[in-house]
A and B are shown apart, each in its own frame.
Chain A
Amino acid sequence: MRFSALRLLTEGLTGNRGWGPHWRDPAPKSEYDIVIIGGGGHGLSTAYYLAKEHGLRNVAVLEKGYLGGGNVGRNTTIVRANYFLPGNSEFYSHSLKLWEGLEDELNYNVMHSQRGLINLFHSDGQRDAFARRGNAMINQGDDAVLLDRAGVRKHLPYLDFDNTRFPIYGGLLHPRGGTARHDAVAWGYARGADRRGVDLIQNCEVTGIDISGGRVTGVQTTRGAIRAKKVGIVVAGRSGQVAAMAGMRLPVESHVLQAFVTEGLKPCIDHVVSFGMGHFYISQSDKGGLVFGGDLDFYASYAARGNLPMKEHVMEAAMTLMPMIGKARVLRSWGGIMDMTPDGSPIIDKTGIDGLYIDCGWCYGGFKAVPGSGFSFAHLIAQDRHHAPAAKFRLDRFRTGVGLMDEEGTGAQHNLH
């Protein structure tokens, strides 16, 4: 089934009776060449690119719940390539290029909207830091424009520019930054992988990883044992538990990050706005809800819901930045489980076990990485060597201290990112 404007119109006029399921619901086979653990954004994109780029179709994705039920369906959907450090810079740049061709690639409307992202600054020192970041982005081949106060006011007239504590001095505009529809990204990759022969197996929790003589041989699941020549772990917040099945301890601590959405409003916020000093960011969804969030709750958690102090903090920051938001009513809030690394950057690497690979540590920024991570992880699994844009995401960088990627410059230590 191909999607097209004509197809939509025809279906619309004939009661939408012609749509079928977007993917099969196969029973697990007893053996695959490659098993991917985790049916989130990264697992699904990995499976898609294994089939598409490497011709590997005897692949299964094992998901303990339903496809897209994890963080990929819980995030605030910001897509950007405004990183500073080598390693992150080239990776997110590559990922954004994949985003830009994604809807054609998948024949799926992922509602990628490059509405522009503005990071605000509030002092001369911060302006210097943002100018430097902008230059790094331009050197990487991406786009950045340094806006002064008047420039920001033109785009975002509704902000409180004269806040006493954080007067707005300007902002760094990343025109190609924006948002996408999170579920659609998961569904689009799922459909694309399924159509290329990948088995997507839901309600199938991996409970053990079989290793013999230093080589992975398969997995144990709630739907029986499955043999595999290669296994990829891509389970985001659950990375610690699944890695433990292979006897590994990871440099990862799982934390809760909350987000909020208001009732649907008429269009009023055209960009993605980030107020770093208040740990606050916001955009408006296509349905009209204001989608916003803040920082981690800052304690280890698997609860997928947060506590009140962070909610209060986020509301205060919202009121500080844009007093008009006080009239909107919050509809709901939720949390996701974030796989935090000590330096705040991800891991895409081999493990000490032959045939076992890991992709994790996306912290609170892995949605924008869904295409790039899948592409690079598929490359690593298929060819047993790193894909250039992701070659610096090494698992042993903490142990050796070489190649740490601490974007915030706070130190490579748990609890600082």
Chain B
Amino acid sequence: MRLPCPICGERDLREFSYLGDAVRLHRPAPDAGTDAWDAYLHLRDNPAGRTRDLWQHEAGCGAWIVVTRDTVSHAVEGAQLAAEMRDAD
């Protein structure tokens, strides 16, 4: 698997570290309540198919990116900078 960093271009998987589902971009308010925090921290759609997850180009430019890819075929559709994606959502 090679991931397309929006800044550096397509790079080897080994340059990236993985955080998980992009749900992590949407941190609830501190007083949002147990359900919201549980959903944010623990519960996952865990899709077999298209997913969006957070990776950091750790051994490259250091950017956090959101990769759209398929969990069954490992095909990678594309990636965006996490900061841009969060602001757009």
Using a CB–CB cutoff of 8 Å, the interface residues on chain A facing chain B are: 238-241, 244, 249-254, 298-303, 307, 309, 342, 398-400, 413-415
Contact, CB under 8 Å: B46 / A252: yes
**Given A241-B48, A309-B14, CB of A301 within 8 Å of CB of B20:** no
- Picked from A254, A303, A400, A415, the residue with its CB within 8 Å of the CB of B46 is A254
Contact, CB under 8 Å: B18 / A298: yes
Contact, CB under 8 Å: B34 / A399: yes
Q: Does B39 sit within 8 A of A, measured CB to CB?
A: yes
Chain A residue with Cβ nearest B46: A240
Q: Does B61 sit within 8 A of A, measured CB to CB?
A: no
Contact, CB under 8 Å: B20 / A415: yes
Chain B residue with Cβ nearest A396: B38
- Picked from A251, A252, A303, the residue with its CB within 8 Å of the CB of B71 is A303
**Given A342-B41, A399-B38, A415-B20, CB of A301 within 8 Å of CB of B46:** no
B78 to chain A, nearest CB (A): 16
- Give the CA-CA distance A121 to B55 in the complex, in Å: 32
Chain A residue with Cβ nearest B44: A253
Q: Which residues of A contact B87 (CB under 8 A)?
A: none
- Picked from A244, A301, A398, the residue with its CB within 8 Å of the CB of B42 is A398
**Given A299-B53, A399-B34, CB of A251 within 8 Å of CB of B44:** yes
**Given A253-B20, A300-B51, A302-B48, CB of A414 within 8 Å of CB of B42:** yes
Q: Which residues of B contact A400 (CB under 8 A)?
A: 34
- Picked from A238, A252, A307, A342, the residue with its CB within 8 Å of the CB of B74 is A307
Chain B interface bracket (under 10, 10 to 19, 20 to 34, 35 or more): 20 to 34
Q: Which residues of A contact B43 (CB under 8 A)?
A: 249-251
If over half of B's interface residues share one DSSP class (helix, strand or loop), that class is named, otherwise mixed; here it is: mixed
For residues 67 through 82 of chain B, which have their beta carbon under 8 Å from a beta carbon of chain A?
Answer: 71-74
- Give the CA-CA distance A244 to B48 in the complex, in Å: 12
In the complex, which of the residues B35, B39, B45 has the most CB atoms of chain A within 10 Å of its own CB atom? B45
A63 to chain B, nearest CB (A): 17
Q: Which residues of B contact A240 (CB under 8 A)?
A: 44-48
- Picked from A244, A250, A298, A300, the residue with its CB within 8 Å of the CB of B21 is A300
In the complex, which of the residues B18, B44, B72 has the most CB atoms of chain A within 10 Å of its own CB atom? B44
- Give the CA-CA distance A254 to B51 in the complex, in Å: 12
Q: Which residues of A contact B18 (CB under 8 A)?
A: 298-299, 415
A and B contact pairs by CB, cutoff 8 A, 25 listed: A239-B46, A241-B46, A244-B45, A249-B39, A251-B43, A251-B44, A253-B44, A254-B71, A299-B18, A299-B53, A300-B21, A300-B46, A301-B71, A303-B72, A303-B73, A303-B74, A307-B13, A307-B74, A309-B13, A309-B14, A399-B34, A413-B41, A414-B44, A415-B19, A415-B20
Q: Which residues of B contact A238 (CB under 8 A)?
A: 48
Chain B residue with Cβ nearest A413: B41
Contacts beyond the supplied A239-B46, A301-B71: 9 A-B pairs with Cβ under 8 Å? A238-B48, A252-B44, A254-B71, A302-B71, A413-B41, A414-B21, A414-B42, A415-B18, A415-B20
- Give the CA-CA distance A29 to B46 in the complex, in Å: 32
In the complex, which of the residues A299, A302, A303 has the most CB atoms of chain B within 10 Å of its own CB atom? A299
Q: Does B8 sit within 8 A of A, measured CB to CB?
A: no
Q: Which residues of B contact A254 (CB under 8 A)?
A: 46, 48, 71
Chain B residue with Cβ nearest A414: B20
